[in-house]
Amino acid sequence: MMKITVEKLIYGGKGIGKIDEKVCFVPYVLPEEEVEVDIIREKKSFYECVPVQIIKTSPYRKEPVCRYFTYCGGCDYLHIDYEKQVEYKNEIFVETLKRVGKLDNIPVLEPVSSPENLYYRNRAQFKIRGEKIGFFKKESREIVNIDYCYLLKKELNDALSGLREILPFFSFQPVEAQVYSSSENRTVVKFLFPKNIKKVPLGLKHMKAFLGESLEGFGMYLIKDGYARRINFVGSPFVYETVGDYRFRVSADSFFQVNRFQVKNLIDLVENEMKKDSISVAFDLYSGVGTFSIPMGRYAQKVFGVEINPYAVQDANHNRKLNKATNVFFHRASASDINRFMIKKNPELVLLDPPRTGIDSNTLKALLQIKNLRKIIYISCNPATLARDLSKLTENGFTVVSTRFIDMFPHTYHIESLTILEK
C-alpha cells in the first residue's frame, strides 16, 4: 500500500498523484487529499490505483447520496460539493484546450451550472443480464444491479421497478431497455434483443400497468452489427418536449438533450448569438429534431438542418410545421455528404453539434471553403476533439471569440461546451 497526494483532477474522472516520480491515476478523490492507494495495474509510464483510505480529507468532500457510488459506473463526482465540481470541471476544460489545442489566451466565460444537479436525466439505458438490471461497473461489462438512480427523473425510476416484473413475460430476455421521458412526462421504451423476437409479450394496456400510465408506446429492436433495428412498435413511437415557447416531437429513435434543466439555457445561448448579426443563410449540422435549427429560424432568413438519422429528420420536419418555421429546411444526409450543397448555399453562420469524435476532416475542409462564413457556433461534448478542431480552425483564419463550459452532466466527468468563432 502506498501514499500519494492528489495534485489535480483530469478528464475521465480520475485524480493524479505520483509514486516515486511515476504518475498515478486514482478515482473518487479530490485535489490536495492525501490518500492510501493500492496499485492494481502497472504500465511503463504510470500506475492505475484504487483508493483504500483518505488520510487528509478535502473540505469539499461530501457524503455521496447514492449507496451504489464507486460500484456503479454512472457517476464520478458524487463525493464532491456541486459548486466545486463545476469549478474543477471548468479547470479541466480550459487545461484540455491549452494542452491538446495549444490554445492560450482565449476568452473563457463563466460556466453554466445545471439549475438542478439531481434527477436531471430524461433518458436511461438499463443493462439487463439474468436478474440484474442496472448500469455497467466502471471500466467493466459487469452489471451493477440497482433499484434507484439519483440522476434520473421520477418516471425513469418508476419504469426501472416495473422492468423487473415484465421480464418473465418475454420468451427470452432483452439485453437492454432504453427509457425516455419527456418534459411533459410522457414515456417511450425500447427493448433491445440479441436475436429476433417474433411475439410481443404484452399489449400497451398491460405494459402501462407495469411501467406507468405515462407510457405512450414501446418497441422491440434487434441488435445487429452494433446497430439497433426496429422490429415493431406498439402504441405511439414519439413524445413531445416543451422548451419555452417551442414544442418538439421526439421519437424513440431520435436524440434530445439529456439534461432537462439545461436545454433552454443552450437554446438561449444560441439565440443570443443569432441576434447579434444579420444572417441570410445559416446551417445546423447534426441537427437532430431541430432543437437549434428551429430557434435559429427566428433570426436568419433561411436555415438548413442536416441530420443522418431518418427518424430525427421525420421529427424535425414535423417540428418545422408545429413551430411554423417555414424558413427552416431539413436534409437527411451526413454532415460530410452535404458539403458541396453547403458551399453552394454560402452561409454566413454554421452551428455544429457533432458526436464525441468531433468534426470529420471533409466537413472541416468544407467550412474553410465557404466564402461568406463569418461565424461558427460549436457545441461540443468532448473537450479533446474540440481542442483539435479549434486548433485547425484558428490556423485557417478563425478567431475564438469565447468559449464556456455548460454542465449538462452533473456528477460525471463529461464536459459540454459552447464556443464562438469568427472570421
Q: Which residues are catalytic?
A: 381
Tell me the C-alpha distance between 331 and 313, whole Å.
7
E strand or H helix at 27: strand 22-27
Helices assigned H by DSSP within 242-323 = 263-274, 293-296, 310-322
Backbone angles phi, psi at 242, to 5 degrees: -115, 125
Tell me the C-alpha distance between 158 and 137, whole Å.
22
Tell me the C-alpha distance between 219 and 122, whole Å.
18
Task: Single out the residue of 244, 270, 241 nearest to residue 255, CA to CA.
Answer: 241
Phi-psi region of 405 (alpha: psi -120 to 50; beta: other; left: phi over 0): beta
Torsion sign (Cα): 408, 180, 138, 36: positive
Q: Give the three cell numbers for residue 283.
A: 446551417
Strands of 375-380's sheet in order across: 328-332, 300-307, 279-285, 349-352, 375-380, 416-422, 399-406
**Cβ neighbours of residue 101 closer than 8 Å, sequence gap 6 or more:** 386, 387, 388, 390, 391
Beta strands 416-422 and 143-145: pairing type?
A: unpaired
Helices assigned H by DSSP within 132-256 = 154-166, 204-211
